[in-house]
Amino acid sequence: MRKSFVVVLICLTLIGGQALAQDGEVDQIILVLWHGLPWDAAQELQFKAPRAMGFLNTRVAGGEPLTAAYLSIGAGARAMGLAGAALFYQGDAGGKDLYMRHTGLEPTEIVQPRIAQIQAAQTVSYKIEPGALGTALAEAGLPLRVLGNSDTHDPVAWSALVGMDEWGRVWEGSIGEELTLFDASFPYGLRTDYATLAQEVLAAEEKLIIVDLGDPFRFDQYQGQLVPSQQEAMRRVIFAEARDFLATIVEEDSKPRRAVWLVSPYPSQQAARAGYWLTPVLCWGLDAGLLISGTTRWPGLITNMDIAPTMLELLGTEHDQPFIGRSVSIQAQSEKESLVWLETMAAKIGVLFGHRGQVLRALVIAQILVYAAVLIALIAPAHRPTWIVLALQFTLLLLMAMPLGLLLWGLSPLLVILLLIGIGVLKYKGTSSLPSVGFITLSTTLAIAGDVLFGSWLMRYSFLGYDPVGGARFYGLGNEYMGVLIGSAIMGWSVIVEVRQMSVKGRGILGGLAFAGLTYLVGAPSLGTNVGGAISCVLGFGSTWLALGERKVRFRTIMFLAILTVLVLGGLMLTDSNNPGGEQSHIGQTVELVRRDGLTAIYLIITRKLAMNMRLLRYSMWSNALIVALVGMGASLIWPSKYIAWLKKNHPLIAKGIVGVVIGSTSAFAFNDSGVVAAATCLSFASSTLLLLALELKHDFTPSQTYIEDDGYSH
């Protein structure tokens, strides 16, 4: 019953609409910052108002993580943190003099003298403006107010860090001791004066009010000094007081067009140490349902980059800020449905987060061990017993089927078991491995293509799919499965045309249609454009199509592929750039960046991709997988003797397909910011096929075909 309910929700997600508010605007927004709010506690925050819910990806660019998290909200982009960035001065003559000395500007009510250092710390490969939210509102003539503090032994003003403008200024607010009480029983001897804070919030007339609850942060920083029983007792007290405060402002109805947003900008210390960057985000005063944004296209999941553009859209504020995030909308549905959805999603993401590294590491280690065993069998002069060779071939086929198995596992483990049985039956019924290779590769291609067409829901929860906690990609075709798609499609089509002895004309027409359709799936903006993947498809599929069509490599064929790449990219850019901003995919965003920043944007994109690939080559386990695949291919072309000549004579179309996979893999490496991953998953299909056929030749599994001995050809 529960699974059926989730399936229904998925269908509703695919066809349902989203809306922020009835007419897209509100009169006032109260943005409440609750540090380290756990999901189970967030579920208890039920008031007399519609509630929209979701998870917030709080990943940052780097630097000091706490300040980076709050800076990212105000910047609408992942920011770099700086220790001391939350130290603001209010009504302090010395602080204002320092600010004037550092900036040459007249100080406002609340200032941050270290704004130059905060700006200089943003050493990222994209344009970012700390304080973009405050700047946009100031330029529009809309005031904002910041209230509350998280003072410990040192002053900490998270609300000011979120609400400041690009020069570290806040015009209205209160972040001092007037909103705290001295209480020896609370962390650091301070507690939030919620009665006064509530009065200040409800009396404020500004369009945007940013509230720092204070006590949750102090507790999170202090809890390590408490015995477990005291820690739990204090947690309950702090939660109850914060909940009552929220109830007061949510249920106060003097301003019916008021929206209250509750954001947890940073997880608890325990979650942060584990690297779990998802926190709750809730909204009252609009519709009930799931929060979703153009950044994620994932119902129930948004990012910290999305908060600033959402606030401005709700307030109807025009701006030209360099936000990377997109405005949030609401997938309308009942609160009960939303809770079931989010609980199910959280459980699945938890499994991915807890075991993703181990599963992928095991996959790479298995590939290394299997390839090593196969190479030993190829290099050793003596023939191995038949059962050993068959076992090695079966393990190679299992490795080839792993991406498909990892895709289908979340849908049904039974499908994976049936897949393994099918591979075993095919291998048992014939000595040649080509039918098994064709079955695996074509099944993989069709499964990935179907999943992308229907929203990539299998990929979202696959160990080889997205990483919603890390937040690198949330929709479309990720680089792992992009490489798998290119490699499996080329090898699968090569097997078909060879086994079926398809005519050159048939290869050209059917192959062209199939490759064009797959390129569309990878590059279509509506399906989540993978730009580097689209280039890799054009080059990999195009070279394979030309080779299988018996066209020789000439200058004009190279020019044809180059022109085709430009045309495909141009078409994708034109299509996506004409879409509304909130619906644009990655390529539309890139076009907008280039329009706004010119050659600087292109330079930053290239340097980011190069830096990512260099980092992956040095530290990622996928670099090991890529090296193993290359070694496997190279060794199989040396042992057995004259293998290349045998392959070209007996499997000429397979040989051309292998070359196509190599070209696709090389393109994936060159044109993607995590190209090492895509190249490794793509190349594995060519290397495994080469090793399978090398074993057949070495151990005389092809008696009906021409094979090569050391002294020449023989039958």
Cα angle, residue 174 at apex, residues 170 and 180 outer, rounded to 5°: 145
- The whole-angstrom separation of Cα 294 and Cα 278 is 18
- Cβ burial, residue 15 (10 Å; 0-12/13-18/19+): exposed
Closest by Cα among 482, 691, 446 to 586: 482
Domain 2-333 classified CATH 1.10.3720.10? Answer: no
Q: 435-448 burial, b if ≥16 CB within 10 A, otherwise e?
A: ebbbbbbbbbbebb
- Cβ burial, residue 157 (10 Å; 0-12/13-18/19+): buried
Specify the pLDDT at position 5: 39
| Single-letter code of the amino acid located at 298 | W
- The whole-angstrom separation of Cα 397 and Cα 662 is 19
The bridge status of strand 208-212 relative to strand 28-33 is parallel
pTM given for the model:
0.88
Domain ranges of the chain: 2-333, 346-701
Q: Can you spell out the DSSP letters for 643-682?
A: HHHHHHHH-HHHHHHHHHHHHHHHHHHHHSTTHHHHHHHH
Residues of the chain with pLDDT under 70: 1-24, 430-431, 576, 579-594, 596, 599, 601-602, 604-605, 701-715
Q: Can you spell out the DSSP letters for 589-619?
A: HHHHHHHHHTHHHHHHHHHHHHHHHHHHHHH
Starting at the edge strand found earlier in the chain, the sheet holding 169-170 runs 89-90, 110-111, 169-170
Per the CB < 8 A criterion, the answer to whether 116 and 296 are in contact is no
Residue 191: strand pairing partners: 181
Per the CB < 8 A criterion, the answer to whether 341 and 323 are in contact is no
Specify the pLDDT at position 600: 72
Distances (CA, A) of 63 to 88, 301, 348, 459: 19, 24, 30, 31
Per the CB < 8 A criterion, the answer to whether 100 and 151 are in contact is no
Per the CB < 8 A criterion, the answer to whether 455 and 299 are in contact is no
| DSSP H or E run through 713 | strand 712-714
For the chain, the C-alpha Rg in angstroms (whole number) is 29
